[in-house]
Amino acid sequence: MLVCLATAACLYLPPLAEIVGRRALVVAVHEWSGVLLPVPLLLGLGSRALRADLGRLNRFAPYDKEWLRAARRRDVRPGARPAGKFNAGQKLYAAWIAGAVLVMLGTGLLMWFPGVGPVVWRTSATFVHDWLALAVGVVVVGHVAKAYGDPGARRGMRTGSVERAWAEREHPRWKPE
């Protein structure tokens, strides 16, 4: 995802394009990184742990509504945001980014192979692709900023494990799952 975003920035922002140069190479890297973006997830489907996590991400529990209400009110009191292994915000982010990747893949392929349909398809695909890329960039930057502010979450993403105290504080319903 980061390669797609970085190469897209080099394609659309003139100061970056001047620094990087070699537009044809940047285009090729962008296209192939976009097409290959779903591959790690598809390969990971062989993992029972990943399939279990996808199941958790795909189901909203009654306490997720409480989490969303508390987040909307910016309530940070202990216990105000009950969460299992994934909180409601992470579930919404995962669903949104999965849908965005599929739309970006479809529109990107229409742009890559312009002869597949009429000109209006390519024009529409370019419009959707560009604006959705901007939205994805903003959301990914927000996601990274949120993770930056939580050392326990960063450790979990980096190593695959978190401290018990962090899990009990941030995701108190994780163990019952």
Q: What is the pLDDT of residues 72-121, one digit of tens each?
A: 999 888 788 888 889 999 999 999 999 999 999 999 999 999 888 899 99
Residues 83 and 172 sit within 8 Å (Cβ to Cβ) = yes
Look at residue 164 and tell me whether its pLDDT is greater than 90: no
- Give the pLDDT band (50/70/90) at residue 177: low
CA distances from 21 to 12, 30, 56, 84, 150 (A): 12, 14, 43, 46, 36
pLDDT in tens, 17-68: 888 888 899 999 999 999 999 999 999 999 998 999 999 999 999 999 999 9
Residues 63 and 83 sit within 8 Å (Cβ to Cβ) = yes
Residues 18 and 86 sit within 8 Å (Cβ to Cβ) = no
Helices 88-112 and 23-36: crossing angle in degrees, nearest 10, is 130
Structure tokens at 4: 């797609």
**Looking at the whole model, is its pTM more than 0.85?**
no
